[in-house]
A = this chain, B = another copy of it.
Amino acid sequence: MTPIRLGVLGLGRAFTLMVPTFTGDTRVKLVAAFDPREGARAAFEQTFGGTAQTSSEAVCADPAVEWVYVATPHQMHVDHVVTAARHGKHVLVEKPLALSLEDCTRMIETCEAAGTQLIVGHSHSFNAPVLLTRRLIASGRWGAVKLVHAMQYTDFLYRPRRPEELDTAQGGGVAYSQAAHQMDIIRLLAGGEVRSVRAFTGRWDAARPTEGAYTALLTFANGAVANATYNGYGHYDSDALMDGVGEMGRPKLPDAHRQTRARLRAVTNEAAEAALKAERNFGGSLYAPPAADAPDACQHFGPVLVSCERGDLRLTPRGVMVYDDQGQHFEPAQVPAVPRAEVIDELWAVGREGQAPLHGGRWSRATVEVCLALLESARADTDIMLRHQIPAPA
**Which A positions have Cβ atoms within 8 angstroms of B?**
146-147, 149, 151, 153, 198-200, 202, 204, 213, 215-217, 219, 225, 227, 229, 231, 233-237, 241, 254-255, 257-258, 261-262, 305, 307, 309-312, 314, 323-328, 381-383
Whole-angstrom CA separation of A233 from B390 in the bound complex: 29
* A231: chain B residues within 8 A (beta carbon): 147, 149, 307
* A147: chain B residues within 8 A (beta carbon): 202, 213, 215, 229, 231
Check B202–A146 contact: CB distance below 8 A. Answer: yes
Whole-angstrom CA separation of A231 from B258 in the bound complex: 33
Check A255–B213 contact: CB distance below 8 A. Answer: no
Q: Given that A200-B217, A200-B225, A202-B147 are contacting pairs, would A258 and B383 also be in contact in the complex, using a CB cutoff of 8 Å?
A: no
Check A204–B254 contact: CB distance below 8 A. Answer: no
Min CB gap A381→B, angstroms:
8
Give 27 A-B contacts (CB < 8 Å), ordered by A residue: A146-B213, A146-B233, A149-B229, A153-B305, A153-B307, A153-B312, A198-B217, A202-B225, A215-B225, A215-B227, A217-B217, A227-B229, A233-B307, A234-B323, A235-B310, A235-B323, A236-B305, A236-B312, A236-B314, A236-B323, A254-B328, A258-B325, A258-B327, A262-B325, A381-B383, A382-B383, A383-B383
> Can you name the residue of chain B whose Cβ is closest to the Cβ of A258?
B327
Min CB gap A324→B, angstroms:
5
Q: Which of A213, A216, A323, A326 has the most CB of B within 10 A?
A: A323
* A328: chain B residues within 8 A (beta carbon): 235, 254
- Complex partner residue of A215 from B149, B213, B237, B326, CB under 8 angstroms: B149
Min CB gap A254→B, angstroms:
7
> Can you name the residue of chain B whose Cβ is closest to the Cβ of A213?
B147
> Can you name the residue of chain B whose Cβ is closest to the Cβ of A378?
B225
Min CB gap A103→B, angstroms:
29
* A216: chain B residues within 8 A (beta carbon): 217
* A237: chain B residues within 8 A (beta carbon): 323
* A311: chain B residues within 8 A (beta carbon): 235
Whole-angstrom CA separation of A216 from B229 in the bound complex: 12
Whole-angstrom CA separation of A225 from B217 in the bound complex: 13
Whole-angstrom CA separation of A305 from B152 in the bound complex: 12
Check A261–B146 contact: CB distance below 8 A. Answer: no
Whole-angstrom CA separation of A309 from B151 in the bound complex: 19
